[in-house]
Amino acid sequence: MLDHALTPEAVALMRVVVTTAHRMPDLARLVDRIGRDGGIACVARAIAGADAAPNQIAQASDLAGRFIDMVFVPHQMRALIGDDREQLDAAAALRIDDAIDLLTRAGRLDPSYAS
């Protein structure tokens, strides 16, 4: 998900959305919601497991949103302001590990998911 979000095309599109959000706020919210909902669905499926029932995936959605807020949003913001892609890629694994650790310590993530 992070790799896809940091493609030059994706970063350029997000810059356009942010730049024009004040003129077209409904469109900006729609673009954000589509991307966020897709990301949440992807992460929720990963958390719930390959054989998860739809209700298990739905239960994992809140946690997936928190994970995205901790990992994806800061990563994307760093890309939007022009941070080096190689440095972002190098920091990604640590950012993910930190989020898993924090969510586990907060009792929001079952430690067996982290393995």
pLDDT digits (tens, 9 = 90+) for 52-64: 999 999 999 999 9
State the pTM of this model. 0.82
DSSP code of 112? G
Where exactly are the structural domains of the chain? Answer: 2-114
Query: 2: pLDDT confidence band, cut at 50, 70 and 90?
Result: confident
Residue 113 has pLDDT above 60, yes or no: no
Helix (H, G, I), strand (E, B) or coil at 49: coil
Instruction: Report d(CA 21, CA 31) in Å as an integer.
Output: 10
User: What is the predicted pLDDT for the residue at 70?
Assistant: 94
User: Which one, of 77, 70, 62, lies nearest residue 97 by Cα?
Assistant: 70
Q: Locate tokens 């729609």: which residue?
A: 30
- Token pair, residue 17, equals 């959305």
Phi and psi dihedrals of 110, rounded to 5?
-65, 130
